Structure 1
Amino acid sequence: MRAAALLEREEAPCVSAIEMPEPLARACAWTERDDAPYARATQALHPVMTAAAASDERVAKRAQDSCSDSQLAHYAVTALIDEAELTPKPALVDRRGSGAHRDLDLAIMRRSAHALEPTFAALARTARRRGEPSALLRAELAQIGRAGEQDMLRATGGSNAHRGAIWIVGLLVAGASFADAALRLDPSAICRRAAQIACFPDRFAAATDSHGERARQRYQVGGARREAQEGFPHVIAVGLPALIAARERGIAEDAARVDALLSIMASLDDTCLLHRAGLAGLHAGQHGARRVLQAGGSSTRAGRDALAALERDLLSLNASPGGAADLLAATLFLDMLAHHDVSGS
C-alpha cells in the first residue's frame, strides 16, 4: 500500500527546495514519470539483477563503442581503492592508519571496494539496457544499490565503508554507460546524464535516517543528493580542474590528488564533518584545506605543515571529511575514463 501510494503521488522530478542551474533544471524537467500500477512496477523491478544482464544487438554495439560494463566496474573499484590508499589524507583512512574512524582501516576499505564490483557492473548493465534516464531506471538502480550496500556490510563486518560512494560513483557509472563514440566518455556529458537520473525520486525507498540525511536537514545543506542533481559541481568544476592543474605544474601524482581532495574540502558542505562535529568540524575542514592550498599545496614544506595541522584539528574533533573523499573517488573515476578514451585501451 505504501509503495502504491508513492507511485500515485504527484512529485516533481527534482527536490523542490533545490535551486538548480538552468541547464540541469531543464534536463530534469523533461523527464517522464512512470505512473504504472504498483503490481506492474514491482514485476518489472523483481528480477533486476538477472534482467540487467540481458542485452540486444543495440546495447552490445553501444558497449563496444564506449566502455564495457566490466571495465566501468573495474574503474569504479580502482577509484575507491586509489582514494583509500592515497596518503596522507587529513583524518581519513590511508596507509598510515584509520584517521578518525574506529571501525575502518585500509584492509576493510579494500574489501568493501572489491565487494562492490558486481554492483557497479549491474548498474552499468541496467543503465545501458534502458538507454536513457527514466523513473523506472532510477528505481532499478536504487534496488541494485541497496543490494550492493548489503554486500558491502557483509564484506566489512557491518562497517559503512562506501555507502556514499555507492550513490556518487554508482550514478557516474550509470551515466558513463550511456556514452557512445560521439560522447567519447566526456566527463561533463557523463555528469549530466547521471544528474538526470538523480533528479527522479526513488519511489520505493523507505524513509531514511542516515547520518548524512540528519546532518543535511539540521544544517540545511545540499548533501550528496544535491551534489548529484546539480551535475557533480565539486567533481567537474573543482576536483578535476585541480587535479589537472597540479599535474600541469609538474606536481607528483599523489600530491596532485591530495590537492584535489583539499580543493573539494575547501568549498564542500561535507555532511560527514557536520555529523561528527557540527559547524566547528565543517569550518575546521574548509579553513584548514584553504590554508594548505594557500601555502602552496601538499607538495611544499609549508603546505605539508599546514596539512598536518589540519589533521590534528580534525582528529581533535573526531571529524573526518568522508563526503569529500567520495567526491575525490568520483574525480579519479572520471579521470580514468578520460584516459581510457584517449588511449582507446
Structure 2
Amino acid sequence: MEIESKVFSASIASVAVQSLIEELELTPKPGLVDQNNTGSHSDLTCSLMRASAESLKDTFKKIAYTSYGRLPSQSLREEIAEIGRAGEKQMFEVTNGINTHKGAIWAIGLLTSAVSMGKGTFSIEKCLSTAGKLASYPDRYCPKMVTNGRHAMVKYGVNGAKGEAQEGFPHIRKFSLPMLYQSRKNGLTDEQAKLNSLLSLIATVEDTCILHRGGIQGLEFAKKQACSFLKSGNFDSLNKMDQEFIKRNISPGGSADLLAATLFLDKTEQMNKGRKLKEYHCIR
C-alpha cells in the first residue's frame, strides 16, 4: 500500500507538471506567455514559467500522497492547503517573487487530490465533484490577504477561482473538455483542439485576471474576440488577437489555469483507461 501510493503520487505529479508545460508551450495564446512572445507580461519569460512549473512537482506529489484513498474532509482540506502554501513559497523563490502559477496550484492541486482520493479510478465527473466538495470546506488557517483576484471578485461581483472550484469546475465540465473532445473528433490537430478549448474558456469565464487588468470593458472585449474566433475557426486570426490583447494589457490567466486543469484531467482519464485495458487483458 505504501509503495503503491508513492508510485501513484509520483506519476500524478508528473502529469500535473506536464499539463502546466503543455499549456505554456501552446502557441499562439492571446495575451499569454507562449513560444512566440510573453503576451501582456513584461516580467515573465517562457523559461521562467517552465522552471516554475517544474518546481511544483514535489508539491503535487505531496498533495497526491496525502490524499491517497481518503474522503473529502475538513482535515484533508487544510492539509493540502498547507502543502499548497509551501508550494507557493517554492514557486516565488524560483521566480524571484513573481506570481506564475498560484492559480494553477489551487486548481490542479484540488484535482490532484481528487484523482488520488479515487486512486486513479474516478471518472472525470467524479473528480470534478470531489474537488468541489473538498474546496467547499473552509481553510481556517488561510492568511488574510487581499489578492488581485479577490479584489476583482469583490469589485465586479464574480465568483473567481474559489467559486469555480467550489462549484465543481463548471467551465471545465461544460465548455473546455467538451470542446477539446469535439475538436479532436472533428479531425483537428491536438494543438488546434487545445487552442479551441482555451478560447472556449476565454469566451465564457469571468476571468479575474482580465478584470484586474482591463476591467469590464477588457473582459467583454476578450469574450467577444474569443466568440468570433470560435465561430470562424480561423486559427490564422489568433496572432492578430494576441496583438490586440497585448495592446489592451489583457491576460486571460484564469482561463489558462483552467486549460492546464483540463489537460490534466484528460491525461489522467487516458491513464485510467490504459490501466483498465491492462486489467482486462490480464483477466482474459
TM-score (norm 2): 0.93
CA shift, 1:319, in A, is: 1.2
Alignment partner of 2:49: what SS? helix
| 1:122 matches 2:59 | no
Read off the aligned partner of 2:45 and give its amino acid letter: D
| 1:176 matches 2:123 | no
Pick aligned residue for 2:258 from 305, 311, 327: 327
Alignment partner of 1:79: what SS? helix
CA shift, 1:297, in A, is: 4.8
Taking every aligned residue pair, what percent have the same amino acid on both sides?
40
Counterpart position of 2:127:
190
CA distance in 2, matches of 1:315, 1:338: 35
Counterpart position of 1:150:
89
Output aligned runs, 1:74-85, within 5 Å: 74-85=14-25
CA shift, 1:122, in A, is: 0.6
Read off the aligned partner of 2:118 and give its amino acid letter: A
CA shift, 1:270, in A, is: 0.2
Counterpart position of 1:98:
38
Alignment partner of 2:203: what SS? helix
| 1:204 matches 2:160 | no
Counterpart position of 2:11:
71
Read off the aligned partner of 1:226 and give its amino acid letter: G
Q: Which 10-residue stretch deviates more, 79-88 or 311-320?
A: 311-320
Report Cα offsets for 1:72-106 as digits up to 9, x if no partner: 10000000000000001001000011100011111
TM-score (norm 1): 0.77
CA distance in 1, matches of 2:122, 2:52: 26
Read off the aligned partner of 1:103 and give its amino acid letter: D
Q: 1:213 to 1:202 in 2, by over 3 A?
A: same
Output aligned runs, 1:1-345, within 5 Å: 57=1, 63=5, 68-128=8-68, 131-180=70-119, 184-298=121-235, 304-305=236-237, 307-344=238-275
CA distance in 2, matches of 1:175, 1:237: 19
CA shift, 1:310, in A, is: 2.4
Read off the aligned partner of 2:199 and give its amino acid letter: L
Q: Which has the higher helix share?
A: 2
Alignment partner of 1:150: what SS? helix
Flag structure 1 segments of 5+ consecutive residues without an equivalent.
1-56, 299-303
Alignment partner of 2:171: what SS? helix
> Are the aligned partners of 1:185 and 1:337 in contact in 2 as well (CA < 8 Å)?
no
Higher relative contact order (CA 8 A, sep 6+): 2
Counterpart position of 1:12:
none
Flag structure 2 segments of 5+ consecutive residues without an equivalent.
279-284
CA distance in 2, matches of 1:311, 1:159: 22
The number of residues matched between the two structures is 276
The structure that has the greater radius of gyration is: 1
Q: 1:71 to 1:158 in 2, by over 3 A?
A: same
Superposed CA RMSD in Å reads 1.6
Counterpart position of 1:7:
none
